[in-house]
Structure formats: C-alpha cells, structure tokens
Structure 1
Amino acid sequence: MLLTPEQTLFVRGATPALLLSEAPVHDTLPVLVTRDGSVPWCEGWSIVPKLTLCVVDGPGEAGIVIPALAAPVQTDGAADPDGMADWCADAERAGGAVVLSLAQLPRTLDWPYLLNSGSAHGGFMPALT
C-alpha cells in the first residue's frame, strides 16, 4: 500500500525515526511497550530506507511504500528540506529505524509521551540493504 508523504515524518538522529499517521498497517504492528526507556524490536518487520522510496515490510502481505523524496524530515526539531539523504545515512549507521504508527502526527515531538502513550504501534525495525 502507498502512504502519502503528508502522512509521514522522518526524524533524524543517532537512531532515526519514522512516524506514520493513519497507516493501513497500524493494527498489524504490535502495540508499543517500552521497558526502561528502550524501544523493542518489531519482530517480523523491516525497513528499506532509500532516498526515493522507503519500504516498511511486515509479515505476509503487510507493508507500505512511502515516496520518501517528497516526505518531510526533521533535524533537531526543525524542518530539514534536504534531509532525506542524511536520514537514510542515519538509518544505515543505526542498522534500522524506529517506526511508530499513530492516529495523527504530533505537532511537537514529545518522545516520553509518544513512547508511553499506549496508542502508538511499532518499534525498531532492522534495515534491509
């Protein structure tokens, strides 16, 4: 399934994140439960972080494709119009990315709330190269 760039937010960092809103895979992803502040692995899922397309692949037929080049990227809380290549490099260095599916994208990134709200689904997904 195709997910529009407006339904995503790529966040740069040592462990990059991909936030999804209204994703068709939301109910297929596990409910996010963090322990000791660490994000669990998302078993059976992987991510292919590429400059033009980003693929989130799950078990069976579950998965989405995002036209990444047109998607918004944030660096240190600010919009980064040229950041997709850097986000992909971050994901390669980290060996994957945290993927969170939410009802809607947050206006501000409140990581403690996002990771402990009980409404987020997802976890860390290893990168396939």
Structure 2
Amino acid sequence: MADFKTVLLNKAALKEALSSLKVGDAIKAHENLTECMSALKLPSDDLLKMMSEQGLSIEDFAPSQATAAPRKPRNNKLENQSFVISDDQVIWVKGRSVSSHRESGDTIYKYDELPKKYKDSAAELVKAG
C-alpha cells in the first residue's frame, strides 16, 4: 500500500482505498475518521476571517494538489546486486530480504561471485527491474 500521508493527500487514492473496504471495515473506518477529525490542525474561523480581510486564502499556503515529485527509477548496477540460488534458479534479492536470506542460512552471491551458468539469467532479472 502507498504511504499513508500520500493517500490522505490524494483524493483519488483515498477514494480508491476507502471504496475497497468491506462493509464492516468501512463502518470501523468511518468511526475512526470521525473520531480523529479533531486531531487535524485546521485554522480557526477567526483566523480565516482575518486572512480573507487581508486578501489571503488557505490555497495560498497549501497547494490543492499533492506536490510530491515522482520517484526517479533506480539505476541497478549489476555488479552491486545480490542473488541466491534456490532449486537451481537464481533469485535476485533486494533490500531487507538480503538479511532475511542470510539469517535463514542461504548463501548470498554478488554478481561476480555467481557460478557462470547463472550469470545470464541474473543479468536478465536486473535488466527487467
């Protein structure tokens, strides 16, 4: 699931997440949202009035669209990647799964350490992303 704050700030993503809930979960979500609305730090009516008198609005301070820039695709350098061999198949392991495989006793190979017969399929895995 996407980052929670990102979902809250993106109306379409929030609608999609809420519409996928089953009835019981939807009721609980509604209760939770209703109860938590007071936690939002919203400007008071007095502040809004003073701002409008000065020709300002909330939109001047908070964009109506989420401003997060799209994430740049990773440039996976083949020689820096880790792999395990399971059932005579090479598996590309990334991030925290490297530690999990190591803790479970799997042998972790860097690309240069892989047996020759697995190098082509490892390169294809990394190329495919």
Identify, as 1 or 2, the structure richer in strand: 1
- Which TM bucket (shorter chain)? under 0.3
Identify, as 1 or 2, the structure richer in helix: 2
What TM-score comes out, normalization by structure 2 length? 0.20
Structure possessing the higher radius of gyration over alpha carbons: 2
Higher relative contact order (CA 8 A, sep 6+): 1
